[in-house]
Amino acid sequence: MNKIKIPKNRLRKLKTYALGQEPYELQKLNSKKIPKTLIDLCSNDYFGLSRDNDVVKASYEISLIEGLGSGGSRFITGSRPIHKLLETQLAEWLNQEKVLLFPSGFQANIAAVQGLVNRNSVVIADKFIHNSLLVGIKASGSRLVRFAHNDLKDLENKILKFNSTQKSILIIVESLYSMEGSIAPLKEIAKICKKYNVELLVDEAHALGILGPEGKGLSFDLSKNITMITGTFGKSFGSGGAFIACNSKVGEYLIQTSGAFRYTTALSPALAAGALKSLQKIKINKEWGINLLNASKEWKKEIIRNSTYPVKGESQILSIIVGQEEKAILLQKYLERNGFLAIAIRPPTVPENESRIRLTIRRDLNIDILKKFASILKSFK
Ligand SMILES: Cc1ncc(COP(=O)(O)O)c(C=O)c1O
């Protein structure tokens, strides 16, 4: 450990927040002063379901029946009726044959990659895929090749390059990218994968509940051409835990072979019940996703009108591209002084000179909040 040296400007401090009075408020805790109330523009609780009364109640009530922790892996004593119920209802909603639960999206992604490739495989992945997928690729021993972000031509060229080798090929993309807020041309990607008969893994973490028909994700109509879909309950579902959706054959293969599924304590019944209640709410409120995307368009317009920085993002994730790391930190602090929590994302998470303030727009933010944010942004020098 003595040998590990992290450059000073890369050091990150863990901060603690309590919940504020309004559903979109957080309180930054501080040992010396009174907590500072901030408007949350950076969590992934897009619909505010983590604090929804029905969701929290469902979670509490199931704990009284099935216990808080599951106490074991799914193969030992960890499988509870709530797991089966959530898997079945999610599979039905997504029109998938099989859904398998995992304790986190990070773990589900590792399981998905390891289930599909090994050291005789090549993974061709979008340049901006999530760290969990990269960890899975590394652990699988497969060869990693990147294609330029959302670039279909580059993807096809990379497939052509490796298609004549003996190696199996897996393409990995996200449907909605967490740092760029950009949306993958998934239909075209699936078409290319079909043309060359290669496997496709899609991470729907940020899209679920928001994109696709009734929030069912961009994979919904394409699932016959996608080998596996991963999703998490930690974002729009306001809970925790995650899943892989696939066909029965692939699902059974994972159950029998995946260490990340077999050798871990099963998802807490409380989180599973919360996720199930959120699923039911998302199903009923079909317009939530579209409304959030429309509101996000308004946010983008106002930010562009009130700031000189370019803004990226075609979704509820928007990035104000500040460029210099130091300047992004200054803007973060300025926003915080004025009551907004919006974090500066810096290298190595994003490329050098692309430091940014990443905003995640929530369903419960109103027009007054947007106006206040825009005027504060305008006054930043
Ligand atoms: C694209 C993407 N995939 C997977 C994950 C991991 O999900 P979880 O938070 O459930 O571990 C995240 C979370 O940050 C993510 O942004």
pLDDT tens per residue across span 3-21: 677 776 677 788 899 999 9
pLDDT in the model for residue 276: 98
Global confidence as pTM: 0.96
Q: Which DSSP string do the residues of 140-171 spell out, in sequence order?
A: HTPEEEEE-TT-HHHHHHHHHHHHTSSSEEEE
pLDDT in the model for residue 309: 95
pLDDT category at 49 given cuts 50, 70, 90 is very high
pLDDT category at 166 given cuts 50, 70, 90 is confident
In angstroms, rounded to a whole number, what is the distance separating the alpha carbons of residues 211 and 217?
5
pLDDT category at 349 given cuts 50, 70, 90 is confident
Give residue-wise pLDDT tens across range 278-294. Answer: 999 999 999 999 999 99
Give residue-wise pLDDT tens across range 315-342. Answer: 999 999 999 999 999 999 999 999 999 9
Pocket of ligand 1 contains residue 242 by CB under 6 Å: yes
Question: Do the beta carbons of residue 193 and residue 164 sit within 8 Å?
Answer: no
pLDDT category at 2 given cuts 50, 70, 90 is low
Ligand 1 atom at minimal distance to the Cα of residue 233: 10
Q: Which residue has the least CA distance to atom 10 on ligand 1?
A: 105
Q: Which of 284, 316, 317, 315 is nearest to 214 (CA)?
A: 284
The first and second tokens of residue 328, run together, are 């992004």
> How many Å lie between the centroid of ligand 1 and the Cα of residue 163?
30
Give residue-wise pLDDT tens across range 194-230. Answer: 999 999 999 999 999 999 999 999 999 998 899 999 9
Cα-based angle 229, 109, 11 (whole degrees, multiple of 5): 135
pLDDT in the model for residue 164: 83
**Mean pLDDT over residues 28-49, rounded?**
90
pLDDT in the model for residue 35: 84
pLDDT category at 380 given cuts 50, 70, 90 is very high
> How many Å lie between the centroid of ligand 1 and the Cα of residue 232?
7
Cα-based angle 324, 341, 60 (whole degrees, multiple of 5): 140
> How many Å lie between the centroid of ligand 1 and the Cα of residue 240?
10
Pocket of ligand 1 contains residue 289 by CB under 6 Å: no
Domains of the chain (ranges, CATH numbers): 53-284 (3.40.640.10), 291-378 (3.90.1150.10)
**Mean pLDDT over residues 115-121, rounded?**
96
pLDDT in the model for residue 80: 96
Question: Do the beta carbons of residue 189 and residue 165 sit within 8 Å?
Answer: no
The first and second tokens of residue 230, run together, are 């991963």
Amino acid, res. 200: L
* pLDDT reading at 350 higher than 70: yes
> How many Å lie between the centroid of ligand 1 and the Cα of residue 161?
30
pLDDT category at 1 given cuts 50, 70, 90 is low
Contacts of 355 (CB under 8 A, 6+ apart): 321, 322, 323, 324, 325, 327, 328, 329, 344, 345, 346, 347
Contacts of 121 (CB under 8 A, 6+ apart): 140, 142, 143, 167, 168, 169, 170
Instruction: Give residue 170's Cα distance to chain centre.
Output: 20
Question: Do the beta carbons of residue 340 and residue 373 sit within 8 Å?
Answer: yes
Pocket of ligand 1 contains residue 236 by CB under 6 Å: no
Q: Which residue has the least CA distance to atom 3 on ligand 1?
A: 205
Pocket of ligand 1 contains residue 105 by CB under 6 Å: yes
> How many Å lie between the centroid of ligand 1 and the Cα of residue 334?
28
Question: Do the beta carbons of residue 333 and residue 325 sit within 8 Å?
Answer: no
Give residue-wise pLDDT tens across range 250-276. Answer: 999 999 999 999 999 999 999 999 999
Pocket of ligand 1 contains residue 204 by CB under 6 Å: no
